[in-house]
Structure 1
Amino acid sequence: MSLNIENLYKTYGKKNVLNDISVNFQAEKIYGLLGNNGAGKSTLLNIINNRIFDTKGKITLDGRLVTENEKSLNNIHLMSEDDLYPSKLKIKSLFHLMEGFYGDFDWKLANEMLSEFELEPTKRMSKLSTGYRSIAKLIIALCVPCEYIFLDEPVLGLDANHRELFY
């Protein structure tokens, strides 16, 4: 399964954020996206995940356009610093929600990670520190059955011990 980005542009008003980006991602490989603050990394990831729209270009997964394509989008997951989950939801309920959305969830891994990170599954997202919210979102990202997992600022708020555990 191949994720292709061809001639992608994104502008906000007169400001060019992404200019003619083309890249090919292969499944089961790890990539790093490096750049200065404001270079457009998060913008690119949000476009790939259909959270925002490009100005021009094409993103395909196995030759099918990703935009407005539920089957393709269900193979892509973006973990970001954005708090997109209901804040009153308990962690375990959130995991069930993701299982329903993606059709599966790796409960064994999720429970192992909850234990390793000492994260209580009955806590509400709104009651978690920034670091523990990041951990909950990381667990989701690693437990959904997606071919492509994108992590944007995955260690935001994690202390040194939790960063080491994540790595």
Structure 2
Amino acid sequence: MRGIEVKNISKSFKDTQALRNVTLTFEAGKIYGLLGRNGAGKSTLLNIISNRKYPNEGYVSVDGMPSAENDEALRKMFLINEMNLYPESMKVKDAFKVTKTFYSSFDEAYALKLSEMFELNIKKKIKSLSTGYQSIFRNILALSVNVPYVFFDEPVLGLDAYHRDLFYKLLIEKYSEDPFTAVISTHLIEEVANVIEEVIIIKKGEILKNQSRDSILENSCTISGTVSQVDSYVASLPARAEVIGSDVIGGLKSVYICGDDGARLPEGLERSTMDLQKLFIQLTSM
């Protein structure tokens, strides 16, 4: 089986439960958005998948192989996050060469090309890079490594609008040429909404949603009207429909619903689409 299977993963740090019985599958050749607020457990999950942290319970397999202490499985994955795996005194150009020794598929020529596009000075030491250029450096590594599973943990941290846009364009270009599994962990929902195919929403270490982007949006909506009309409509909803939030302004009310069946509304009510950012905010603020 191709893909990454995460089964019943739990992780605690002292009195904090970072992950609770998380079960997921990352299929080969898809772009995932791992969406959650700060502290939701995104980074912990990616660190466990890539064998940088160990779970208290559960296991991870990569293409059917256990990932823990398995070099063959680990070479199929690459994670970028704030953790610096290179000596701070190392120059960027030397880090590219070191990466090539661990990942034979690393395309050093492509990394140099991207460095020019992002205006990254490869002669600089890693420790001298600004926060934004630290992110650019890591993103270049991830885009050049050519492995089946790449994890981007907050990849646009410190990047200006131009560099953020360039990163997403290059990611899509790379994926279009040779599809791989990309997992983008972020709390900046609006920016990734048109990039990702699959949506995973995590809150306080638990998975709230795990669906395709199109499916989750097609079945989510906002219903608006007078307070009494909206309350009456909500009371008649089928069990599968989930009200995830509401707003009241004066005598008007809006409710946000997952699992809407699209049935004709009573007169006086209005149905509108809900974008991914609004859905995320309503789900994670409850």
Band the TM-score falls in, shorter-chain normalisation: over 0.9
Name the counterpart of 1:19: 20
Q: Report deviation, 1:26.
A: 1.3
Name the counterpart of 1:142: 143
Consecutive unaligned residues in structure 2, runs of 5 or more: 169-286
1:75-134 per-residue CA deviation (whole Å, 9 max, x = no partner) reads 111100122221111111100000001123112321221111111211111111111111
Name the counterpart of 2:9: 8
Name the counterpart of 1:131: 132
Contact 1:18 1:40 in 2 (8 A): yes
CA distance in 1, matches of 2:161, 2:65: 41
Moved over 6 A (4+): none
Name the counterpart of 2:102: 101
Name the counterpart of 2:53: 52
Taking every aligned residue pair, what percent have the same amino acid on both sides? 46
Q: Report deviation, 1:149.
A: 0.3
- SS of the residue corresponding to residue 32 of structure 2 reads coil
1:16-38 per-residue CA deviation (whole Å, 9 max, x = no partner) reads 21111111111221000011211
CA distance in 2, matches of 1:121, 1:16: 40
- SS of the residue corresponding to residue 151 of structure 2 reads strand
> TM-score, normalised on structure 2?
0.57
Bigger mean CA offset, 106-115 vs 1-10: 106-115
Name the counterpart of 1:119: 120
Name the counterpart of 1:89: 90
CA distance in 1, matches of 2:141, 2:97: 10
State the structure with more CA Rg.
2
CA distance in 2, matches of 1:111, 1:104: 15
Amino acid at match of 2:45: L
Name the counterpart of 1:154: 155
CA distance in 2, matches of 1:39, 1:108: 37
Contact 1:81 1:156 in 2 (8 A): no
Name the counterpart of 1:31: 32
Contact 2:80 2:152 in 1 (8 A): yes
More strand by share: 2
Contact 2:61 2:67 in 1 (8 A): yes
Amino acid at match of 2:91: K
Amino acid at match of 1:145: N
Consecutive unaligned residues in structure 1, runs of 5 or more: none
Q: CA RMSD in A?
A: 1.1
CA distance in 1, matches of 2:135, 2:119: 13
